[in-house]
Amino acid sequence: MKKIIHLFLFLFSISVFNAQQKDVPSIKYEELESRIQQEKDQLLVVNFWSTTCAPCVKELPHFMEINKKYSDNPKFKMILVSLDRLVDKERVLKFIKNKNLTAEVILLDDIKRMNTWIPRFEKDWDGNIPVTIFYKNGEKVHFNDGEMSKDELENIIVKNL
């Protein structure tokens, strides 16, 4: 009986681990910057998006395909940074569920300081989304302004892994 219970708990823990997010943490710019610096020995794909941005929504299935493909690679990580308002957090959670987003999603609750942190990510970023920034060992290796195709996304990942 103990073996059955242990097996059940093990399978349950796996299903919980692979489940979608049940909450979206809201953070400030400095926390995101620190998080990027902490991801050592990995290619970190950081996509800035919003539930109300049509090009963002259009490209997300490509990101999920690529995230699934590389999810077992310890040198790869993807973070989706929602720029939705904090009051729209429930909409973001519903979006995660409805669109089956499997990458980690965080809510960047720092809209009032956009003019401060946007140029710190990329001096040429005009504030429009989607934007994807690729980091390796905390250093930016590629900046993509605008929607990405699956091939573009994968080519940059393969080049930098």
Q: What is the pLDDT of residues 48-75, one digit of tens each?
A: 999 999 999 999 999 999 999 999 999 9
Question: Are 83 and 50 a contacting pair, CB within 8 Å?
Answer: yes
Give the start-end residues of each E strand in the chain. 26-27, 43-49, 76-82, 104-108, 131-136, 139-145
**130 prior amide bond cis, ω within 30:** yes
Question: Are 64 and 153 a contacting pair, CB within 8 Å?
Answer: no
The model's pLDDT over 6-39, given as tens digits with 9 standing for 90+, comes to: 334 333 433 333 455 778 999 999 999 999 999 8
Residue 149 pLDDT: 96
The model's pLDDT over 66-107, given as tens digits with 9 standing for 90+, comes to: 999 999 999 999 999 999 999 999 999 999 999 999 999 999
**CA-CA distance, 82 to 107, in Å (whole number)?**
5
Report the SS3 class of residue 5: helix
